[in-house]
Amino acid sequence: MKQRQHDADVCAHCRANREARTQLADRPAWVKDSVFYQIFPDRFAKSDRVRKPINLEPWDAPPTFHGYKGGDLLGVAEHLDWLSDLGVTAIYFNPIFRSASNHRYHTHDYYRIDPILGTDEDFDELLAACHERGIRVILDGVFNHSSRGFFRFHDVLENEEQSPYVGWFHINGFPLKPYDMDEPANYEAWWGLRALPKFNTDNAEARDYLMRVGEFWAKRGIDGWRLDVPEEIRTEGFWEEFRERTRAVNPNLYIVGEIWSDAGGYIDDGTRFDGTMNYPFTTATIAFTVGDRIDTSTMMDNPHYDVAPAIDASGFRQRIERLLAHYPDAATLANLNLLDSHDTARILSIASGDDDAVVLALTLLLTFPGAPSIYYGTEIGLEGGLDPDCRRSFPWQHEGEWNGRIFDATKELIALRHEHPALRSRAYNILWPPDDGDGSMSFAVERSAGEDRLLVVVNAGREREKQSINRDQLRFGSADRVWGNAELTPGANHTTVSIPPRAAAIWTLSN
């Protein structure tokens, strides 16, 4: 009898563990239905209610590596109606914690808001205002490294081997040389940058500190973490523990990793991250829609940012099919898809000012499975080359200079995405070009969710193209064009699509 009771207890324990693991692996359902907007806090908007230091750069002046513009959190709060009207339902903020850099990836204090951005109360006001509008808030977590100004590292600088925090970092010897470039630093730093001492995440105290930071902001009410360079943390079980502890606070917390290459080991089973910043989608889309229009000065020295050479529709199809086949459906729907970010040149500048290319890229972005992310200003055609130029201030006072075509396309495509479940589903049935390729520059895909079906067609070429899609591939009774410019002619055996050069169109299909 005791043995049977023991076996029953063991089975119950195993079931509980399995249920807990399943819950951790569940991706938040809200992500796939969201439209994200990435904000670089120093450059989006500033409020008169936030006190500022004197030595700020003029808002409209070209950005520099070290200068501050004075953007703040209440500035964001005062522009939430703009974001809601655009269709934004989630904001991803670049770091907002105390730091000695305008980008704030050099963290001084993980528990406090940077004073140039405002106060802790300002953050609470912004968070509440976002949630009142149904906008979720994702923070940037920089847990691989801190900064020279981080209290524990500063203690090591002062007290050397007698510091109680010496084990928090990878120290190779003393004295440390955080500023003297002619001497060895004597500590490990991210990419060798002395300003960014790397945490020793094998150290139990340091590890628990970072876990508690994740829990703290989850308790404050954030909706997710974007994790900076998470591949750099190689401590076994670190990210599994981070997920378990933060998801215990908020089971719907979204956790997305910045992984430029293959993120399979991090997102496949959902025990680390829900999704990744989907740069493979970014690069394939740019190589197709921008093609040979690319401004070579905007190309990054990054082997994973392969936006050149240009590809035709067959090349795009191949790259997208590989991408979709590589990740489980749940991960695909939780990926953060983007065209540009604070780490890349802006899409309009990449395209040498060709707004046709931007509209085509936006069409592919906003009709792709996963969560689309708009980098602040992309919707009005804000330009910018590589860092720091890609971090220009939002030109609120120069509305007459905004690109109305890009803005209208962004807003209309976001509205279509919200209206149609098909655009938020995993089903992505590529219809054109043929598998064997024909040099075509046009691409067609059916998106579906139950009875909701749409046909999306993009022509990235310089000539009008006609597609002949077999009726066995695409059966429908009638088609209604809801966006764009193209002609669709149903036939007995084939549907013919005639699409002008550098154009896109979307139809709803009914049986």
**Active site (catalytic) residues:** 228, 258
User: Are the CB atoms for 444 and 469 separated by under 8 Å?
Assistant: yes
User: What is the helix (H) or strand (E) element at residue 256, kind and residue range?
Assistant: strand 254-257
Nearest to 322 by CA among 373, 281, 366: 281
CB-facing half-sphere around the CA of 482: CA atoms within 13 A = 20
To the nearest 10°, report the CA torsion of 158, 161, 164, 166: 90
From 155, 71, 74, 140, select the one nearest 110 (Cα to Cα).
140
Q: Which two tokens stand for residue 94?
A: 């670049």
> Could you tell me which of 507, 502, 505 has the C-alpha nearest to residue 289?
502
- Helix 279-289 vs helix 313-326: angle between axes, to the nearest 10 degrees? 170
d(CA 350, CA 460): 15
* Closest C-alpha to 444, from 423, 427, 416, 468: 468
Give the span between the Cα atoms of 35 and 358, in whole angstroms.
17
Please tell me the number of Cα atoms within 13 Å of 339 on its side-chain side: 35
Contacts (Cβ under 8 Å, ≥6 apart) of 352: 293, 294, 295
